[in-house]
Chain A
Amino acid sequence: MNPLIQMSPEVCVVLGGCLVCLIGVARRSSARAVTSSVALVTLVVAMALTAWYGRPGDAIQPAGLLITQLSMYVRWITLIVGVLIVLVNAGTPADEERGEFFGMILFSIAGVMLTGCANDLVVLFLAVELVSVPTYILVGLSRTDARASEAAVKYFFLGALAAAIMVYGFSFLYGAAGTTVLRGASGGSLSEHVASAGRLTDFATIGLLLAFAGLSFKIAAVPFHAYAPDVYEGAASSVTGLLGFLPKLAGFAAMIHLLTAIGWQLPTSLLWLLWGVAAATMTVGNVLALLQTNVKRMLAYSSIAHSGYMLIGLLVGPALGAGPMHDGVAALLFYVAVYGTMNLGAFAALGSLTVRDEPAETLDDLAGLSRRAPWTALALTVCAFSLMGFPPTAGFLGKVYVFSSAFSLSPWHPFRTAMVVLVVIAVINSAIGAAYYLRIAAACYLRDADGQSRVSGDFMLRVGLGICGAAMVVLFVIPKPLVDRARYAAAAAHPRRDAHVSVVELPPS
């Protein structure tokens, strides 16, 4: 069998994106209207192809790609959340821009899926850029006013800077290893280079530092977070929901790939640096979110804060066979999927509201929403509680997994005390965060009904919003399917298992 058949889900999504772009130039408006449905069908077909052909464990792998349980996890959650993203955005673009708009969403989704499969620095770089470049265009397309184009300019130039820093780092990693392959048993690879040197060489350390600096932009971590509030405010709400998921998942997947290649053996200085970044990210995000009255800016800072929590999982690293309570990477992968859904839900709720034909943005707009639109208010509140980490929502489980994974480090681990301190900082931050998420819920339910917002979103948007809200409760009750897949995915990132071994028989849970 041609090994490229394993890449058929990605190929399907890219071809679907091209098709959608072509339909978008049709003369008749009724033809352009089907673009969102074509995008949905593409994603469903890609899911079927993932189920049939995307089998990890085949010995022959396409060049530069390695399909492991981690790739499968990234594919599945990208496709599933991708369907929600298309539903939520179904009514966002102007009529004549529908083709480009949904095409770009599909290209970005294909980029995230490729990031999950990348086993080569060039492929990883191109995949991460395939995620980012369409999002710059989406921000610009999402609205016609000056704020969207200003946001697109800021997002593009800072994103291009981050990409250049990242690939500059990749060039040093290449210089250290002599090859661009990340993992592999034969013919040289970065993992082999690190294993034979026994430590990170100087070039590899510089490369890793620069690559992580560039990737911090994708996940909106301090000190590369400054763009997030402006871009989130400038773009339309439903596009903002996707900005919090696709680049973040791609950034974390790329970080996991790099750390797996070096066997999770970070030098102490880099570990402390990441520790500081995690602590600063969650603190800056939560404290600045408290000062906002614009809900979109508030959620942008909340997005920064959540990256800080997820970095804890990355610092803890994988633990073979353990559940997400003990396995940092499994906890991180679970959290990023849950975060993507609840964040999308919160922005979808905002996107469905208008105030005198302008999009609703401030807390005042939401005042008394429960009496005007009880279902939208309920979905928004569920998502806000989930972001806060309050049971009975999946956000609570995500926080529990990430925080508890830090405590499961063995007592003689040199970094255990530092990680426990980091978790204490994270818990304090969650308490700070509760203050502003509760303001959203309180505005909906407790304030007088003097807000002006009305529900005006289309049917697809409301379906997407409903699924996001319901998923938060359902995942709290039945987290096992997602948790198990996150666990298998984390096992693929474990250094003790060779890349090819990691993909075969995993114990059924």
Chain B
Amino acid sequence: MFTVGLTHYLVLAAAVFCCGLFVMMTKRNAIGILIGVELLLNSVNINLVAFDRYRPIGGTDGQISALFVIVLAAAEAAVAVAICMNLYSNLNTIDVDRGDALHG
């Protein structure tokens, strides 16, 4: 009988992490990149909860950590949207490739 174990969750988390990286690298819309960041952080949550469930040592450190990661993701999203608004008011777009004043 096929059972789902720790490895499956770790592979899933790694896959989600890679998706997040791919989204961050290919998207040019700032909100799209923010979604990539959320994917990265959620892959961390999968990892934390899976380790919590399958490791022999007791305690719920992993689940509590996942809660904190969710809180941080929310805080980061708030800052990200503020920064995007600021970019929009300066450039009239949130296409990050259009910001090219800084180079050297």
Contact = CB atoms under 8 A, between A and B. Distances in A.
Interface of A: 121-122, 125-126, 129, 133, 136-137, 140, 145-147, 149-154, 156-157, 160-161, 163-165, 167-168, 170-172, 174-175, 178-180, 188, 229-230, 233-234, 292, 294, 297
Nearest to B77: A160
Given A129-B72, A153-B96, A174-B48, A179 B61 contact: yes
A393 to B, nearest CB: 28
B19 interface: no
A264 B48 CA distance: 25
A294 B104 contact: yes
B22 interface: no
Interface in B31-52: 33-34, 37, 40-41, 43-44, 47-48, 51
Nearest to B80: A156
Grouping DSSP codes into helix (H, G, I), strand (E, B) and loop, the B interface class, with mixed when no group exceeds half, is: helix
Contacts of A149: 83, 86-87, 89-91, 99
A153 B84 contact: yes
B51 A156 contact: no
A136 B68 contact: no
B68 A157 contact: no
A230 B13 CA distance: 32
A136 B101 CA distance: 18
Given A152-B86, A156-B80, A170-B65, 15 more contacts: A133-B75, A140-B86, A145-B90, A146-B91, A149-B83, A151-B102, A153-B84, A160-B37, A163-B76, A164-B20, A167-B69, A178-B56, A179-B61, A188-B57, A229-B104
Contacts of A172: 47
16 contacts: A133-B79, A137-B83, A140-B82, A140-B86, A145-B90, A147-B102, A149-B89, A150-B91, A156-B83, A157-B30, A161-B37, A163-B76, A168-B40, A174-B48, A175-B51, A297-B104
A292 B103 CA distance: 11
B24 A161 contact: yes
Indicate the member of B34, B80, B96, B99 with the most A CB atoms within 10 Å.
B99
A125 B61 CA distance: 14
Q: Which 7 A-B pairs have the closest CB atoms?
A: A178-B57, A164-B40, A150-B99, A175-B51, A171-B47, A146-B90, A230-B102
Given A149-B90, A153-B96, A160-B37, A179 B59 contact: yes
A175 B57 contact: no
Nearest to B51: A175
Given A126-B68, A126-B72, A167-B41, A136 B104 contact: no
Given A126-B68, A171-B48, A174-B61, A152 B83 contact: yes
Contacts of A188: 57
A233 B103 CA distance: 9
Contact of A175 (B55, B100, B103): B55
A233 B64 CA distance: 39
Nearest to A139: B83
Nearest to B88: A149
Contacts of A170: 44, 65
B101 A146 contact: yes
Contacts of A146: 90-91, 99, 101
Contacts of A167: 41, 44, 69
B80 A175 contact: no
B5 to A, nearest CB: 13
Contacts of A152: 83, 86-87
B69 to A, nearest CB: 6
A147 B99 CA distance: 8
Contact of A122 (B65, B80, B99): B65
A27 B61 CA distance: 45
Given A161-B40, A164-B44, A122 B102 contact: no
Indicate the member of A126, A140, A171, A180 with the most B CB atoms within 10 Å.
A171
Indicate the member of B56, B64, B76 with the most A CB atoms within 10 Å.
B76
